[in-house]
Chain A
């Protein structure tokens, strides 16, 4: 693919609201996971909850979009000058030439979960103020952002479970290549809800402790929430040396099982290889890998095999989910932002919480951060249904 430049970026997760806080947490090797106090949930688990979501208001004219997911989106777009950057792109290219491509898995489903507690006792009807299209529907967050930022280009939500907001980079890349747009707002927003907390619990995939990817005693995920955005454009002549570029995307399917990864990581391996060939790079060109690394026994086992089959056992890698939790449909974009910070600041993030590395996992897992300049990094995102996506980001100079 032809590289794209990231013009602006931001993230809000349990480790920080904005790039400065996020970077500080990565440097301090801090986790944002805490015992679950979310809503009325009584599960014995840890979550990565973003502080202050309930207090965030939306602009009055967009009141019908009010739900936790769009509040989280609103928090993020106010950070790091992101809304101004989107406005500059709209002025420069025209609002109809700026696309909006977002990933989410559960969107504003919390709104429907709450509405089901308030059904009319006689008719069973949902409350009149409940607005399915503006809150619960998967498209809601893209619809909200294009109205909020007055962007009028093509727009879509990718909802491929936990690979959603990595795959939006591929959609944006093709739209730019086809000359349908000149800039793309990409990213992911997923927020805490009962469906995912009780759902992952039913699959016995939630750890009672803060998740410990690649630990010998790892026992499941910690669910998080996040909003993360990037503004992509074609690379102009003379990109600045510290600009971060999207260099390659690889997508594949396991074709194996709805809720379990391929045991040898076959689909994950192909996604990484396709990203490398898309970027015209060799495995040795990658300096660091941000793993999907959910902390379930099966994911980490299959991903470690896939990584070592492509890269050997030397390439440093870690999962940042011990810090952020698993932000599900927002994980791909959140981890792309983390990779961009790693490239800019020369810090490979630590896999926090992990005390005793699983000796059967052969990948070179970092339990402490490593300060080292990097030219190119790879980020993995895999999801239910066997969907896989790998992104490669690099420094322009």
Chain B
């Protein structure tokens, strides 16, 4: 039994993509790609006091999670969640490291609370009342596939619907020279064990040693290569064209992840 699930909702946000329909139009070739810096919406889920405290990584994660859940029509409190990010909040990390390298060494409580890798998952559960299991993962450049594999095994083994949220944001200088993630990109999927009304496609994953798929458009390929969460782009394209096919996505050194996509018609 390979891990498998049905796609019930999709969310995408990145440079030149403001949502999933927008990304689908570009990746299916219906519209030219016009990359622009990613615009992150204010997290309307959060009360105004909390909104001011959140950084770009939380805004991104909440935006794509909200889009996918709205698209799926499943209440967020009935979804488990898997969050996956290669880094976390680079700006917050920079501010903390800068403060710790100066005198007096003072970090604000909010900065520290936001420094945990699971900050986005925490804000999501608080904002939506989601009390089911939630996990937060990192596998460096393979973080998207690590998250997808975890989400698919949860759906297959535990037979529960799962929200996958994969996201990365840019690092400021001087960290950027060491971790050159140029902009924010994220994608979210609501995955269910059975086919339902509105299911977009069935996904089935298998570990694979073949090379990962690349994208023809050099700007999209640059995005795929520079933002770990954008390693999902070949899967987003396959979902966008709505045809049956296999995509291979970057995971670890020895393994990539092949995903068989079968649209539900």
Measured CB to CB, the residues of A under 8 A from B are 96, 105, 109, 112-113, 115-117, 119, 123-126, 130-133, 137-140, 142-143, 152, 154-161, 167, 170-171, 174-175, 177-180, 194-195, 198-200, 202-203, 251-259, 267, 270, 383-387
Contact = CB atoms under 8 A, between A and B. Distances in A.
Given A96-B254, A180-B207, A124 B174 contact: yes
B115 A195 contact: yes
A198 B100 contact: yes
A255 B126 contact: yes
A139 B140 contact: yes
Nearest to B108: A202
A254 B101 contact: no
A159 B131 CA distance: 18
Contacts of B133: 170, 251-253
B254 A178 contact: no
B48 to A, nearest CB: 16
B254 A385 contact: no
B100 A171 contact: no
19 contacts: A96-B207, A96-B255, A126-B174, A138-B87, A139-B86, A143-B140, A155-B252, A159-B136, A160-B121, A171-B150, A174-B158, A178-B1, A194-B105, A202-B108, A253-B133, A255-B128, A258-B126, A384-B118, A387-B136
A347 B132 CA distance: 34
A373 B119 CA distance: 41
B196 interface: no
Contacts of A161: 116-118
Given A158-B135, A159-B136, A384-B116, 18 more contacts: A96-B207, A112-B175, A116-B97, A119-B101, A123-B174, A132-B178, A139-B86, A152-B254, A156-B137, A161-B117, A198-B112, A202-B106, A202-B112, A251-B134, A253-B132, A256-B126, A383-B118, A385-B125
A198 B107 contact: yes
A112 B112 contact: no
B107 A174 contact: no
A259 B88 CA distance: 17
Contact of A386 (B111, B112, B115, B126): B126
Please classify how large the interface on chain B is, using the bins under 10, 10 to 19, 20 to 34, 35 or more. Answer: 35 or more
B138 A157 contact: yes
B212 interface: no
A199 B175 contact: no
B139 interface: yes
B131 A252 contact: yes
Contacts of B88: 138, 159
Nearest to A328: B116
B177 A126 contact: yes
Contacts of A199: 96, 107, 109, 111-112, 115
B60 to A, nearest CB: 17
Given A252-B131, A253-B132, A385-B121, A195 B100 contact: yes
B131 to A, nearest CB: 5
A130 B154 CA distance: 37
B100 A259 contact: no
Interface in B54-110: 86-88, 93, 96-98, 100-101, 105-109
Interface in B244-265: 252, 254-255
Given A125-B177, A167-B135, A198-B100, A384 B122 contact: yes
A130 B178 contact: yes
B118 A159 contact: yes
The 3 closest A-B pairs by CB, nearest first: A385-B122, A199-B112, A159-B117
Interface string B211-254: 00000000000000000000000000000000000000000101
A138 B142 CA distance: 12
A120 to B, nearest CB: 8
B135 A160 contact: yes
Given A383-B118, A386-B125, A156 B156 contact: no
A156 B108 contact: no
Interface string B136-166: 1111101100100110011011100000000
Contacts of A137: 86-87, 138, 140, 179
B130 interface: yes
A139 B138 contact: yes
B139 A387 contact: no
Given A157-B137, A195-B100, A180 B153 contact: yes
Contacts of B132: 252-253
B17 interface: no
Contact of A117 (B101, B107, B114, B134): B101
A115 B128 CA distance: 38
A251 B96 CA distance: 30
B156 A178 contact: yes
A161 B114 CA distance: 11
Contacts of B154: 174
A57 B58 CA distance: 37
B113 A258 contact: yes
| Chain A CB within 10 Å, residue with most, of B129, B135, B177, B179 | B135
Contacts of A203: 109, 112-113
A164 to B, nearest CB: 8
A131 B178 CA distance: 7
A202 B118 CA distance: 19
B89 to A, nearest CB: 12
Contacts of B86: 137, 139
A11 B238 CA distance: 45
A206 to B, nearest CB: 12
A125 B174 contact: yes
B112 A132 contact: no
